[in-house]
């Protein structure tokens, strides 16, 4: 294990303790039952101190300097045991979300968001294909920032949201079913990069527009970058309606919401309004923009906006009238050039922006922002952390953890010390650990809430180089699990997990805060439930509607006969109520595979345009007679 207390020194030892770290936590003296008790309830019940050895993850509750050694926490999840946390990792340009269990780092599920995915029938039935089509009919997206909804600054288990940087969209995932249930094409944003919730109660989901374009981007101002601009968008989480947007100077990058419902922060580069890399980094400073949400809402209320592409757009540029006077809608805070991540501390006191091209982070005191004449007065610390600081996470014990992309390290530092030490001090740095290699984001358990758990941290590394068996020139990335619960011993690397391109960010949620359904509730969806006796075929004017059930090992009809050219709609219900008994309906040579979980109904519409016999079959191995679960689609030639 490598650590150094001098931020400017490169470490001299290399990580060699992966195996021993895993061994250390796999002792057989733990009582597996204790591990299954939700930690919060366990503490409330006043459990005996003698049970400390099984209190994985409770360090945040113990408060103060208390920390728990790696030997005393669960690092191995034995066969049949459950993990303590759900981790939602973005899939980058695969356009999906991956669900991992922590601390095992086992991949539990993949949730397709912006791309069709056949195993889940996503994009192959009418509802999901229409949702994808209506949001722009793209076959991919660039999903970076999964954020889980909160109530009272704690995860409420309702939804996760994620951006599409490629096409300017925001999606919502329903955590009852772990399925994408809404995608909005955000007007006036070409690339929606940052995504996050306004807390404490997820009043809005914010989409942070990165690419500056003419506004509206309809052919005007093509060669006049001074007139390009970008917006943040406030999206209603219930309706997914874009309520308003704010125009700004420069572009934007990442964002995070304050904990008290007033401020929203976005980093940005290119205050130069340039179009090339060298011009974009020609000045030494850029901005963190602090959006005063109630002031913006008042401006919208008072009609002080332009409607662009159907959305009220408030002018938040620096010399806008709305930024004059004592209640500016956007405060521009000078930070060293090209900052990248910004995140608000669990106590809501500071917004911390990472320097990226500058080896510091900027600590902004949120409380003083409203009163300060010059928003730069709210900068209260600028610790020198190391090369390429990108993103920061928290343990709830007063420490921040920042990825250093260029140094290939995670640095742990003391937030209050950074405020005491002032400009460019290395004093706040507590420790650094090597990661492999070049980390982008990192996330600690419940870091985005008011009460991080303080035990686990994942470093989402962009490169894996030599860490895994080679698989050709495209390497997997490497998500490394690091134990951060022991302040004496320091950070410990526990696991390497290869991952497919390319996680950017994650949210880690205690397992007891999410309550996924075991089977479908037919009332949650519009499709008509087709019960055991309800199978029927109706025909009218070249349209055929087939309603049929499915169960082990049959479909409601052994054969369905239609005529060439018919438009066929199949409404199919899996009438089983046993959990985990899935069926699907695949139709060869028709690009159809719909997934049917227990009690789920899906509908698919297609044109039967080639005469012939097609074996409709079930693609989930559902029973010993699964292969026999099939039915014939007979397409007769037209007269
Ligand atoms: S941003 S690490 Cu969306 Cu850092 Cu990718
Ligand atoms: Cu149903 Cu296989």
417 C-alpha to center of ligand 1: Å? 27
Q: Is residue 593 part of a domain?
A: yes
579's tokens: 């959990």
239 C-alpha to center of ligand 1: Å? 27
Compute the distance between CA of residue 163 and CA of residue 206 in angstroms, rounded to an integer.
9
Q: Is residue 62 part of a domain?
A: no
Q: How many CA atoms lie within 13 A of 134 on its CB side?
A: 11
150's tokens: 């909160």
pLDDT at 117 exceeding the cut of 60: yes
Give the tens place of pLDDT for each residue, 375-418.
999 999 999 999 999 999 999 999 999 999 999 999 999 999 99
Residue nearest atom 3 of ligand 1, based on CA coordinates: 144
Residue 602 CB–ligand 1 contact under 6 Å? no
pLDDT at 30 exceeding the cut of 90: no
Q: Is residue 248 part of a domain?
A: no
> Do 353 and 334 meet the contact criterion of CB atoms below 8 Å apart?
no
87 C-alpha to center of ligand 1: Å? 17
Q: For ligand 2, what atom is nearest to the CA of residue 617?
A: 2
Q: Is residue 60 part of a domain?
A: no
Looking at residue 584, its pLDDT comes to 98
Average of pLDDT values for 22-50? 32
Structural domain containing residue 546? 536-636
pLDDT at 609 exceeding the cut of 70: yes
Residue, of 58 and 46, whose pLDDT is higher: 58
Looking at residue 401, its pLDDT comes to 98
Average of pLDDT values for 194-198? 96
Query: Which ligand places an atom closest to the C-alpha of 627?
Result: 2
Looking at residue 60, its pLDDT comes to 37
Q: Is residue 231 part of a domain?
A: no
Residue nearest atom 1 of ligand 2, based on CA coordinates: 583
Q: Is residue 54 part of a domain?
A: no
CATH number of residue 544's parent domain: 2.60.40.420
pLDDT at 48 exceeding the cut of 50: no
Q: For ligand 1, what atom is nearest to the CA of residue 194?
A: 3
Residue 596 CB–ligand 2 contact under 6 Å? no
Domain count, the chain: 1
CA 138 to centroid of chain Cα atoms: 20
- DSSP string computed for 254-301: -EEE-SSSSEEEEE---TT--SSHHHHT-SSEEEEEEEEHHHHHHHHH
Residue 193 CB–ligand 1 contact under 6 Å? yes
Q: Is residue 605 part of a domain?
A: yes
Residue 402: asked if its preceding bond is cis (omega within 30°), the reply is no
Residue 504 CB–ligand 1 contact under 6 Å? yes
Q: How many CA atoms lie within 13 A of 624 on its CB side?
A: 0
Compute the distance between CA of residue 433 and CA of residue 402 in angstroms, rounded to an integer.
11
Looking at residue 65, its pLDDT comes to 59
Average of pLDDT values for 144-164? 98
For residue 68, CA distances in Å to 398, 483, 542 come to: 16, 10, 69
Average of pLDDT values for 25-40? 32
Looking at residue 281, its pLDDT comes to 82
Q: Other C-beta atoms within 10 Å of 317: how many?
A: 16
Give the tens place of pLDDT for each residue, 611-624.
999 999 999 999 99
> Do 579 and 519 meet the contact criterion of CB atoms below 8 Å apart?
yes
pLDDT at 528 exceeding the cut of 50: yes
pLDDT at 19 exceeding the cut of 70: no
Q: In what order do the strands lie in the sheet with 583-587?
A: 559-563, 630-636, 612-617, 583-587, 592-596
Closest alpha carbon to 520 in 148, 191, 273, 176: 176
User: Residue 638 burial by CB count (10 A; 0-12/13-18/19+): exposed, middle or buried?
Assistant: exposed
Q: Are strands 592-596 and 583-587 parallel, antiparallel or unpaired?
A: antiparallel
Residue, of 224 and 203, whose pLDDT is higher: 203
Average pLDDT, whole number, for the chain? 90
Q: Coil, strand or helix: which one is 626?
A: helix
Compute the distance between CA of residue 49 and CA of residue 62 in angstroms, rounded to an integer.
12
246 C-alpha to center of ligand 1: Å? 22
441 C-alpha to center of ligand 1: Å? 6
Give the tens place of pLDDT for each residue, 315-360.
999 999 999 988 999 999 999 888 999 999 999 999 999 999 999 9
Q: Are strands 106-112 and 96-102 parallel, antiparallel or unpaired?
A: antiparallel
Give the tens place of pLDDT for each residue, 57-94.
343 334 445 789 998 898 899 999 999 999 999 999 99
Residue 622 CB–ligand 2 contact under 6 Å? yes
Looking at residue 277, its pLDDT comes to 86
pLDDT at 34 exceeding the cut of 50: no
Q: Is residue 572 part of a domain?
A: yes
Looking at residue 63, its pLDDT comes to 40
516 C-alpha to center of ligand 1: Å? 28
């Amino acid at each position: 294990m490598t650590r150094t207390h001098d931020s400017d020194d490169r470490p001299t030892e290399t990580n060699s303790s992966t195996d021993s770290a895993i061994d250390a936590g796999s002792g057989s003296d733990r009582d597996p039952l204790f591990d299954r008790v939700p930690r919060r309830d366990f503490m409330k019940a006043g459990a005996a101190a003698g049970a400390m050895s099984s209190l994985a993850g409770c360090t945040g509750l113990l408060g103060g300097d208390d920390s728990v050694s790696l030997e005393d926490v669960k690092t191995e999840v034995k066969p049949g045991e459950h993990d303590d946390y759900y981790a939602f990792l973005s899939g980058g340009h695969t356009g999906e979300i991956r669900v991992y269990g922590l601390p095992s780092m086992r991949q539990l599920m993949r949730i397709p968001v912006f791309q069709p995915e056949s195993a889940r029938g996503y994009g192959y039935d009418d509802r999901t294909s229409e949702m994808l089509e209506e949001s722009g009919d793209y076959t991919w997206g660039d999903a970076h920032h999964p954020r889980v909804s909160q109530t009272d600054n704690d995860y409420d288990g309702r939804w996760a949201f994620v951006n599409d940087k490629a096409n300017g969209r925001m999606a919502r995932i329903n955590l009852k079913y772990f399925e994408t249930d809404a995608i909005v094409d955000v007007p006036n944003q070409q690339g929606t990069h940052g995504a996050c919730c306004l807390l404490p109660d997820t009043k809005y989901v914010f989409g942070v527009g990165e690419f500056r374009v003419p506004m509206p981007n309809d052919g005007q101002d093509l060669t006049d970058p001074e007139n390009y601009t970008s917006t943040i968008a406030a999206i209603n989480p219930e309706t997914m309606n874009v309520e308003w947007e704010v125009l700004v100077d420069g572009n934007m990058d990442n964002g995070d919401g304050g904990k008290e419902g007033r401020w929203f922060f976005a980093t940005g580069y290119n205050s130069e309004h340039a179009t090339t890399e060298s011009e974009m980094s020609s000045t030494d400073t850029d901005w963190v923009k602090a959006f005063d949400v109630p002031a913006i809402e008042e401006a919208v209320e008072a009609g002080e906006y332009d409607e662009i592409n159907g959305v009220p757009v408030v002018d938040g540029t620096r010399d806008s009238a709305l930024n004059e006077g004592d209640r500016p809608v956007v405060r521009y805070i000078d930070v060293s050039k090209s900052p990248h991540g910004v995140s608000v501390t669990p106590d809501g006191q500071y917004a911390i922006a990472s320097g990226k091209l500058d080896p510091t982070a900027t600590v902004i005191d949120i409380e003083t922002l409203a009163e300060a004449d010059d928003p730069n007065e709210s900068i209260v610390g600028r610790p020198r952390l190391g090369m390429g600081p990108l993103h920061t996470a928290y343990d709830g014990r007063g420490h921040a953890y920042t990825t250093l992309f260029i140094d290939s390290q995670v640095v742990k530092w003391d937030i209050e010390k950074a405020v005491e030490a002032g400009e460019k001090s290395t004093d706040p740095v507590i420790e650094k650990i090597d990661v492999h290699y070049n980390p982008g984001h990192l996330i600690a358990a419940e870091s985005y809430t008011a009460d991080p758990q303080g035990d686990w941290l994942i470093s989402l590394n962009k490169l894996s180089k030599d860490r895994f068996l080679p698989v050709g020139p495209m390497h997997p990335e490497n998500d490394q699990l690091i134990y951060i619960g022991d302040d004496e011993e320091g950070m410990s690397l526990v696991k390497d997990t290869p991952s497919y391109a390319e996680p950017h960010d994650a949210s880690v949620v205690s397992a007891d805060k999410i309550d996924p359904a075991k089977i479908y509730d037919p009332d949650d969806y519009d499709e008509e439930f087709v019960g055991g006796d309800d199978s029927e075929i109706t025909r009218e004017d070249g349209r055929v509607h087939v309603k049929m059930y499915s169960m082990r090992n049959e479909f409601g009809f052994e054969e369905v006969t239609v005529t060439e050219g018919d438009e066929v709609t199949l409404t199919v219900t899996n009438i089983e109520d046993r959990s985990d008994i899935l069926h699907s309906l695949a139709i060869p040579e028709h690009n159809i595979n719909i997934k049917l979980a227990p009690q789920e109904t899906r509908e698919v519409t297609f044109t039967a345009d080639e005469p012939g016999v097609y074996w409709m079959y079930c693609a989930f191995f559902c029973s010993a007679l699964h292969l026999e679960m099939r039915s014939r689609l007979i397409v007769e030639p037209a007269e």
